[in-house]
Copies of this chain bind each other. A is one copy, B any other.
Amino acid sequence: MSSFKEVSATEINEVMERSLIAFQEYKRISSDDKALFLETIATEIEALGDALIEQASSETNLPAARLVGERGRTTGQLRMFANMLREGSWVEASIDTAIPDKNPPKPDIRKLLIALGPVVVFGASNFPFAYSTAGGDTASALAAGCSVVVKAHPAHAATSQMVYEAIQKAIAKTKMPPYIFQHVHGSSFESGKALVQHEATAAVGFTGSFTGGKALYDYAAARKNPIPVFSEMGSINPVLLLPDSLEKNAVSLAKQYAASITLGMGQFCTNPGLLIAVESEGLNAFIEALSNEIEKTIPANMLHAGIHAAYNKKMQDALTEKGVALIKQSSNKTENLQALPTIAKVSGEIFLQNSVLHEEVFGPYSLLVVCKSMDELIEVWRSARGQLTTSLMGTDKDFADHPALLQTAESIAGRIVFNNVPTGVEVCPSMVHGGPFPASTDSRFTAVGIHAVKRWVRPVCYQNCPQQLLPVELQNDNPKKIWRLLNNEWTRDIIK
């Protein structure tokens, strides 16, 4: 899809070697200077103005308003990490002072988080800004102190190139190591493999399909020295429609979910692809209202021809699976790369027997699983393990009647949504965007929010280190006044 030349093996080697050298130089740059660098990237992206929005819209078919919002999210993330660096407590400094008269003497031990090394980032097709070139993975890795190499997504390679050039300006303006951020083009698995398996590569971030994310994980695990891979992959985001809520709120639930299912033509990893409910009058009312909403939806173009073709194939295949019945599609005609919003249903019994129905259909498609009982609903829900989110639409009565729901939700997903839709990932410290495999390859981390930085760091400790050699965050006088765990108590105090 891209007019850019595929990166060669020789170039990858050069890029990664330069990245390692830049990483070592970047280590000597202060947190405040790194913060300024991140802010300058944000400013330079903004300085691209409408040209960037137009380029992205022409490559992704996403409307300008959506892209303006996503650009704001992207620059907001960069500034959020800049603030995190200026404040400084993110390094999780911990100090245990010496006890010389203990037997044996207890040494002075001090710990903090340091950067892993060069990080390779593979961006997402559905977020050309926020999960791509200068997106969350890049921003968090640069904040952590890592150098970054982005493989431009071939579906929006020219957009990626523009953002890369903005970052280059920021590098020059803030006097950062020239190769602290590099950018390569390519669409082959071989390029991905070579980037992941290069000796200098220390960690990998990926957002996209299960096939791509799992392949990178496998390449990394097969290295002589395995490295961490955080792949954020597909998810069907099961939604429980609980009985009392269906009885009381059928129409409003239907409106809320019709909007979520079709938002951005369903091209979100948090799209609600699976609705689960027990048969009831309330459910019938919900189905009727949801049908009315879906019927009225206006199809829009999908991101690119590959995603459009995959949606049509997977959606149509799903509808031909035994026991699956179409509920409703948009009554509007489609043309070009437009997707047809579609809802279907199946019984709980058949869903449990057919694992094909558990797979993501990336696009505005959702499958309603109609269960005979709450027990079957729980069984259906539990069978869909490894999700970014799961949502519980219920009244106080529903939650009182079924007190064990939360424990199951925790075992399934990284984020549990109550009486809300899973689409819309708030960028804040408490956000978890990740989850048990296959939602991600490492459920111990989040891809969104300041704690996304933790994917790219490791702790190191200093035993009996002279004051003048210690990182500034661990020095007695705590010049940045950061929070530190001092002899197992949190404090911002200095050490006398």
A binding-site residues for B, Cβ under 8 Å: 24, 27-28, 89, 94-96, 104, 106-107, 109-111, 114, 116-117, 217-218, 221, 225-228, 386, 396, 399, 406-407, 410-411, 413-420, 424, 426, 428-432, 434, 436-438, 441-446, 450-451, 454, 457-466, 468-469, 483, 485, 488, 490
Least CB distance from A400 to B in Å reads: 9
A438, B227: Cα distance in complex, Å:
11
A221, B413: Cα distance in complex, Å:
21
- In contact, A111 and B432 (Cβ under 8 angstroms): yes
- In contact, B459 and A396 (Cβ under 8 angstroms): no
Q: Which of B386, B443, B445, B490 contacts A89 (CB 8 A)?
A: B490
- In contact, A465 and B416 (Cβ under 8 angstroms): yes
Q: Which of B95, B217, B227, B410 contacts A430 (CB 8 A)?
A: B95
Least CB distance from A300 to B in Å reads: 20
Name 27 A/B residue pairs within 8 A (Cβ), A-sorted: A94-B451, A96-B428, A106-B428, A107-B426, A109-B426, A109-B431, A110-B430, A111-B430, A218-B221, A225-B438, A226-B441, A227-B437, A399-B468, A406-B469, A413-B460, A414-B459, A416-B461, A416-B462, A418-B464, A419-B464, A426-B463, A429-B488, A432-B459, A434-B458, A443-B458, A444-B454, A490-B490
- In contact, B399 and A469 (Cβ under 8 angstroms): yes
Residues of B within 8 A of A420 (CB): 107, 463-464
- In contact, A430 and B460 (Cβ under 8 angstroms): no
- In contact, A466 and B225 (Cβ under 8 angstroms): no
- In contact, B459 and A446 (Cβ under 8 angstroms): yes
Least CB distance from A166 to B in Å reads: 27
Q: Which of B386, B418, B442 contacts A462 (CB 8 A)?
A: B418
Least CB distance from A475 to B in Å reads: 13
With contact pairs A226-B441, A430-B109 given, residues A414 and B221 touching in the complex (Cβ less than 8 Å): no
A451, B457: Cα distance in complex, Å:
15
Least CB distance from A403 to B in Å reads: 9
- In contact, B221 and A429 (Cβ under 8 angstroms): no
Q: Which of B228, B417, B450 contacts A442 (CB 8 A)?
A: B228
Q: Which of A114, A407, A419, A462 lies at the interface centre, i.e. has the most chain B CB atoms within 10 A of its CB? A: A462
With contact pairs A426-B107, A430-B111 given, residues A443 and B27 touching in the complex (Cβ less than 8 Å): no
Residues of B within 8 A of A407 (CB): 24, 27-28
Residues of B within 8 A of A225 (CB): 386, 436-438
A485, B450: Cα distance in complex, Å:
12
User: What is the chain B residue whose CB lies nearest that of A437?
Assistant: B225
With contact pairs A226-B441, A430-B96, A465-B416 given, residues A410 and B114 touching in the complex (Cβ less than 8 Å): yes
Q: List the 6 closest A-B pairs by CB distance, nearest first.
A: A221-B221, A432-B461, A111-B430, A96-B428, A94-B430, A109-B430
Least CB distance from A23 to B in Å reads: 9
Given A221-B221, A416-B463, A418-B466; 4 other pairs, CB 8 A cutoff: A109-B431, A217-B221, A430-B461, A444-B454
Residues of B within 8 A of A463 (CB): 415-418, 420, 426
Least CB distance from A302 to B in Å reads: 23
A63, B441: Cα distance in complex, Å:
44
A432, B96: Cα distance in complex, Å:
12
Residues of B within 8 A of A406 (CB): 469
- In contact, A458 and B419 (Cβ under 8 angstroms): no
User: What is the chain B residue whose CB lies nearest that of A400?
Assistant: B468
Residues of B within 8 A of A442 (CB): 228
Residues of B within 8 A of A432 (CB): 111, 459-461
